[in-house]
């Protein structure tokens, strides 16, 4: 069974090409926390399906054992809200052909409707099996902040500024303009 060497969410993953070297991976800005300014919906409540407009990656690196040659595996990435509900789940299948196996998932948007600890989990099992053999967990913290705090952290009302391992995002609900009756 493969051994998990690295599992992390990050802002960007760069894989060196054959012309540059050995195909090694660089993880740029590992994500640990997100500060989000979540606006109100039309009824004055919090936006229920607020999503931070960011592109991010989930990276895993496996060391294959000699008896893994030719075997197929399924790896699940799952993100859960602090309430325990599933935000998303993605399954990626791969067959062992090299000593190291990289799996990179590109995700568009990060759900921020709840504040607290989100759980990013990884499960690996042999293809067609229901029982995961390897599991890993990475906590991600989302804090809802007021507009003034988001500006101090480098964010703007709609655009997020990423700094180090923290991400500041502002989310604003668009309000409909009132329509005046035509005479």
Counting DSSP H helices and E strands in the chain, the numbers are: 1, 11
Q: What is the pTM of this model?
A: 0.77
Residue 12: band (very low, low, confident or very high) from pLDDT cuts 50, 70, 90: very high
pLDDT tens, residue by residue, 129-171: 888 788 999 999 999 887 654 445 544 333 343 333 445 444 4
Which pairing describes strands 86-95 and 134-144: parallel, antiparallel, or unpaired? unpaired
SS3 55: strand
Phi and psi angles of residue 151, each rounded to the nearest 5 degrees, phi first: -65, -40
pLDDT at 77 over 60: yes
Looking at residue 158, what is its pLDDT? 34
Residue 112: band (very low, low, confident or very high) from pLDDT cuts 50, 70, 90: very high
pLDDT tens, residue by residue, 36-68: 988 776 666 677 788 999 999 999 999 998 888
Looking at residue 143, what is its pLDDT? 93
Looking at residue 149, what is its pLDDT? 47
- Residues 14, 24: contact at Cβ < 8 Å? no
Q: Cβ of 167: how many Cβ atoms within 10 Å?
A: 27
Q: Where are the domains of the chain?
A: 3-171
CATH T-level assignment (fold) for domain 3-171: Immunoglobulin-like (2.60.40)
Looking at residue 90, what is its pLDDT? 94
pLDDT tens, residue by residue, 139-150: 999 998 876 544
For the residues of 56-118, what is the DSSP string, one character each? EEEEEEEEPPGGGTT-EEEEEEEEE-TTS-EEEEEEEEEE--SSEEEEEEEEEEEE-SS-EEE
């Amino acid at each position: 069974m493969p051994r998990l060497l690295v599992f992390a969410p990050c802002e960007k993953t760069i894989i060196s090409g054959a012309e540059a070297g050995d195909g090694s991976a660089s993880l740029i800005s590992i994500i640990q926390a997100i500060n989000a300014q979540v606006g109100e919906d039309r009824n004055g409540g919090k936006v229920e399906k607020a999503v931070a407009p960011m592109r991010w990656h989930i990276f895993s690196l496996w060391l294959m054992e000699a008896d893994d040659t030719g075997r197929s595996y399924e790896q699940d990435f799952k993100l859960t809200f602090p309430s325990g509900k599933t935000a998303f789940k993605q399954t990626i299948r791969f067959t062992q052909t090299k000593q190291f196996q990289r799996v990179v998932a590109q995700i568009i948007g990060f759900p921020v409707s709840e504040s607290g600890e989100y759980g990013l989990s990884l499960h690996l099992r042999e293809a067609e099996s229901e029982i995961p053999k390897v599991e890993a967990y990475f906590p991600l913290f989302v804090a809802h902040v007021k507009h003034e705090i988001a500006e101090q952290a480098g964010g703007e009302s709609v655009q997020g500024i990423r700094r180090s391992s923290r991400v500041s995002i502002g989310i604003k609900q668009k309000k409909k303009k009132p329509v005046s009756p035509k005479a």
